[in-house]
Amino acid sequence: MLFNSLHFLIFFIFVTIQYFVTPHKWRWLLLLLASCYFYMSFVPIYILILGFTIVIDYIAGIYIENAKGKRRKLFLILSLIANIGVLAVFKYYNFLNDNLSFLLHGFGWKNPVPLLEILLPIGLSFHTFQAMSYTIEVYRGNQKAERHFGIYSLYVMFYPQLVAGPIERPQNLLPQFRVKHKFNADNFKIGLSQMAFGFFKKVVIADRLAMAVDYSFANAENQSGLSLAVSAVFYSFQIYCDFSGYSDIAIGAARIMGFKLMTNFNAPYFSRSISEFWKRWHISLSTWFRDYLYFPLGGNRMKNHRVYFNLFIVFLISGLWHGANWTFVIWGSIHGVLMIIERKFNTFWKTVNRILNKNIISLFRIIVTFSIVTLAWVFFRAESSNKAVYILHKIFNLSLIDTIASPLNNAELLFSFLLISLLMCKERCFSYINMRNNLVFVFYIILISLCCYFFGVFDNKQFIYFQF
């Protein structure tokens, strides 16, 4: 069930209304059933995998809490192995096997291990990470083990954020399932307006840009350098609008029911550095890696070379988290290297900032950061690393003579740039709109709804991050 579908809209209205009608003690059951239905509407059988990790982590949480000393660690490790094992089988098995075949082929041997014909369960990396954060927090003593199996299941399966985050922490989400939420007009208005803007970002901007991007990346050979450069920029905004649109809908949908999920994006393309970008982009994942990988590795309290190593490892794994493909590994590595370089020249930037006009230098840094992020996205989007290199090569040999080939006509290309400008303008100048004011709220909802209806691209395009 895609968020940008009529099915979701009706489902959401029904579940939300039912949520407020249902007595508090049964609300967890309603949400759990709704979440099961939501997840099963993609590929029903994969509910079993989700069920497996839920049972393992539920038991592990209780055992970790009850155990002492080394046994605590043992139960944590067992739970992590189960979670990572599921990820390894469904997400990385074929990737590793492919690479093994490639290696063995180099020695003239044949790989005897067969490939698995399996589909990647939707949102596997998201709910696995959310489940892992629970057992880690219980182990650290920051979270009490949840004894109510239904509520724990709901923590992993809560439908708004089940398939593409935000990856929640148990301390934030679990207690909210026990709170008796009453219908609140402010929550309704704030949540609905956030959902509406999420829909707008997805169906009006992301899916429109996707038409040009998909075409360019699929036919890179017939595209001019300029056309590919435009497509790369479009992809930056497509992925942003697609993913942040999803997060907005998720956060908004939860908010209407009274749940407050963590912010996942904060105008990332206004970042002045890569490190700032990662503080604004997919915040729930970057903080997950920070808390559960970077800090345990020693963080930045170590010597420089060790900090660089930690940074690189974190971004490498972050790349791999996104997908079992070398393109993601390279994309993660690029960000890792950029973080290291940025850290190394930190003092230089501080000096430049002091000397030059702050506004000019800020703008310059925003443009440079955006350009670098955009070029790195090429690896993220391309089917293979070779193709990504080919596209980048063409982009750097900008040929202005070639025509821009695109399924969008000139008017729609201009319209796309206008939409991007409007988005940036909204994020910069109108990041907060007072939705508590009824007039503003009604006007905003009508305007967004009309834009979505008249200019939305409704071809049931999946959210990009569903594949992770």
Partner 1 sequence: MRKITFAITGLFFLVILVVSSSNKWMKKITQYRYYTKNVLQSSRLQYGDMYWYGYLPDFKNDFLKEKTDIVLDKCNSQRLIHLYCIGDSYLNHPLLSDTFFCGVNKLIIKRWSDDIPLKTELDTSQINVLLIERTERFLRGISLTDYLNNIKFIRKDKNAENDSKEKIDESVSVGFFTNEKLNEIFKDIFNKNINQNLEFNLFDYEIFNPLKELKAKLNYELFGRTDKIVTLIPGHPYHFLSSTVDPASIHSSFMPINDEQVSQVVATLDSTYVYYRARGFDEVCFSIIPNTVSIICPDYKPYNNIIKRVQDHPELIMPMINIYDSLKTARCQVFYNSDTHWNTNGFNMWANEFNKFLVKVGKVKNNPYLGRVSEVPPYFFDKIYEAIPAGLLRTDSLAIQCDGSIDLINGLLVKPENITSGKLTVDGWLAVSAKEGIVPEYIILTLKKPGEPLKYIITKRNQREDVKLAFKQPKLINVGFNAIIDVSKLNGEYALGLAWGYHGCLQQCGQFNIPIKITEYKGSE
Where on the chain is the footprint of partner 1 (CB under 8 A)? 5-7, 10-11, 13-14, 17-18, 20-21, 37, 40-41, 44-45, 183, 408-409, 411-412, 415, 453-455, 459-460
Please give the single-letter amino acid code of residue 207.
D
**Closer by beta carbon to partner 1, 121 or else 323:** 121
What does the alpha-carbon distance between residue 157 and residue 50 come to, in Å, rounded to a whole number? 8
CB-nearer residue toward partner 1: 5 or 99: 5
Q: Which is nearer to partner 1, 172 or 460 (CB)?
A: 460
- Give the separation between CA 84 and CA 91, rounded to whole angstroms: 10
End-to-end CA distance of the chain: 16
Give the nearest distance from C-beta 311 to partner 1 in angstroms: 44
Closer residue to partner 1 in complex, CB, 18/385: 18
Determine the Cα–Cα distance for residues 93 and 100; give it in Å rounded to an integer.
Answer: 10
Q: How many CB atoms lie within 10 A of CB 251?
A: 26
Question: Residue 120, by phi and psi: left (phi above 0), alpha (psi -120 to 50) or beta?
Answer: beta
Full DSSP string of 324-347: SSHHHHHHHHHHHHHHHHHHHTHH
Which residues does 128 contact at the CB level (< 8 Å), separation at least 6? Answer: 53, 83, 84, 86, 87
Residue 258 CB, nearest distance to partner 1 (Å)? 15
Task: State in angstroms the smallest separation of the CB of 45 from partner 1.
Answer: 7
Residues involved in catalysis: 322
Please, what is the minimum distance in Å from the beta carbon of residue 156 to partner 1? 20
Note the residue count of the chain: 468
Closer by beta carbon to partner 1, 21 or else 77: 21
Reference 276, options 360, 350, 370, 353; nearest CA is 370
Which of 367/450 has CB closer to partner 1? 450
- The nearest distance, CB 439 to partner 1, in angstroms, is 23
- Cβ 217 vs Cβ 382: under 8 Å: yes
CB–CB of 280/268 below 8 Å?
yes
By CB atoms closer than 10 A (0-12, 13-18, 19+), residue 313 is: middle
Amino acid at 370: F
| Smallest distance, partner 1 to C-beta of residue 132, A | 28
Enter the tokens of residue 237.
Answer: 């905004």
